[in-house]
Amino acid sequence: MKNLLKKVPGVAVVWRSPTVQAVQKRLVRRYGPRFRTLKHRKTLRFMVTGSKGKTTTTVMLARIMAESGFRVGYCTTDGVVIDGEVAHVGDSAGHEGARRILSSSLVDCAVLETARGDLGQRGLYISSCHAAALLNIGWDHVGTGGIESREAMLAHKKQVTDASRGRIVLNAEDALVAPLTAFYGVGRCTLFALDPQAVDAHVGSGGQAVTLTAEKPARIVHRGPVGQHEIISLAEIPCCVDGAVRFNVANALAAIALALAAGVDYDDIRAGLRNFEAWSEALGGERFHVVEGYPFRLVVDRASSPSSIEGFVSALPALQQLGRVHVMMTATGNRPDWFFGEMARIVADAGVDSFVLYDSEILRRKRAAGEVPELLAAGLRAAEVDEARITVARNPGVAVERMVERACPGDLLCFLGAVQGAGLLELVTAELRNKGFGREGGR
């Protein structure tokens, strides 16, 4: 009976066969609520780190685990959610977020985003976890907190995967991350990759991988010593936009690899990813949304760094309609000056017709008011963007107004960054209502 009730709060975590999982789901759905207030003897723990994609991967995995019957607590740079309820809003990707979750009697599965800052200031907050993922190593925070190279950043973030007592999930297409397979051993590592050829050698050596099929339409598959198993088509995952949003495809691959490490079955993985977009609204849902129903298409995303802007630019061709492209953007302030020029360089050649650069109080971080948009404007000018295409706004509200003013049917309006209060998506939709735009048509 202990095995059958593994997911009920108060019952120890054990690994289960697929047959037992199916029986267990029915029992938990019927009897689970009566165990809700019992204290856990053990909580399944996942940790996610990297330079980009941490939050989305964390929430994707949380959704999958919830679909599988767990009562999930997860923490990200957006906040803490416990069993579907927001427990805290604000950066919680470290000690405080983990403390809230692991001390809750409602949680039997913890999914913990682990960011660079808190890890550097206070060290690792738990001694071990059941599985961990290192998604990538970029340049975003190099030059801050005493970390002066990507290699140093790798050593810093590797503390997270070192804490895993089980499976380790690594990016096969990251030149710094992939070689860690030799350090941890092929048998412990699951690799993920957009290019299926990137995992061929690993699978050939007896390892496991989550990747895409070579043939189109692309499907996500689980490959290993016992063969290949199809999991889900990219067309079934809303946030991947038929595979056009490649960074979300990579996030989904990593989340699947972690879920498989816990023995989650393919049906629950499929259900979790199909329902991910709506479920991820708990903390504002600003992580890449495509909004239809207006005379123009809206994209709202948290992108505010070179790597995230690079991912956004890669998705633009598939998102663009017949009209023009307008981008509203800002950047995180506590970064070296080269950071802003690099962001501008990446987006300058992306076919954008106009830029609105704004100052966000939540991202300013010790920079003077107005300094961040001026640095971005200087970077665009250095990239030979015509001055007439650049507008600097003193705050997000004014920036959204400027964007809506220039919108025409068929345009693509991209709102990037983060704001204080209700959120960027809410700010945009409120301004559209003020200007007479409805979701089902024009003015």
Q: Looking at the domain assignment, is residue 37 inside a domain? A: no
Residues 350, 387, single domain; the answer is yes
Residues 428, 332, single domain; the answer is yes
Q: Looking at the domain assignment, is residue 20 inside a domain? A: no
User: Which range has the top average pLDDT, 139-153, 300-314, 396-410?
Assistant: 396-410
Residues 203, 95, single domain; the answer is yes
| Per-residue three-class SS string for the chain | CCCCCCCCCCCCCCCCCHHHHHHHHHHHHHHHHHHCCCCCCCCEEEEEECCCCHHHHHHHHHHHHHHCCCCEEEECCCEEEECCEEEEECCCCCHHHHHHHHCCCCCCEEEEECCHHHHHHHCCCCCCEEEEEECCCCCCCCCECCECCHHHHHHHHHHHHHCEEEEEEEECCCCCCCCHHHHHCHHHEEEECCCHHHHHHHHHCCCEEEEECCCCCCEEEEEECCEEEEEEEHHHCHHHHHHCCHHHHHHHHHHHHHHHHCCCCHHHHHHHHHCHHHHHHHHCCCCCEEECCCCCEEEEECCCCHHHHHHHHHHHHHHCCCCCEEEEECCCCCCCHHHHHHHHHHHHCCCCCEEEEECCHHHHCCCCCCHHHHHHHHHHHHCCCCHHHEEEECCHHHHHHHHHHCCCCCCEEEEECCCCCCCHHHHHHHHHHHCCCCCCCCC
pLDDT digits (tens, 9 = 90+) for 298-352: 998 888 888 889 989 999 988 888 899 999 999 988 888 888 999 999 999 999 9
Higher-confidence residue: 70 or 116?
A: 70
Residues 168, 266, single domain; the answer is yes
pLDDT band per the 50, 70, 90 thresholds, residue 119: confident
Total domain count, the chain? 2
Residues 294, 279, single domain; the answer is no
Residues 261, 334, single domain; the answer is no
Per-chain mean pLDDT for the chain: 86
pLDDT digits (tens, 9 = 90+) for 156-190: 899 999 999 999 999 999 999 999 999 999 999 99
CATH code for position 345: 3.90.190.20
Domain of residue 250 covers 43-283
Residues 317, 257, single domain; the answer is no
**pLDDT score of 17:** 52
Residues 144, 208, single domain; the answer is yes
Residues 334, 258, single domain; the answer is no
Residues 321, 248, single domain; the answer is no
Higher-confidence residue: 354 or 32?
A: 354
Residues 219, 329, single domain; the answer is no
Residues 406, 273, single domain; the answer is no
* Percentage, residues of the chain above pLDDT 90: 60
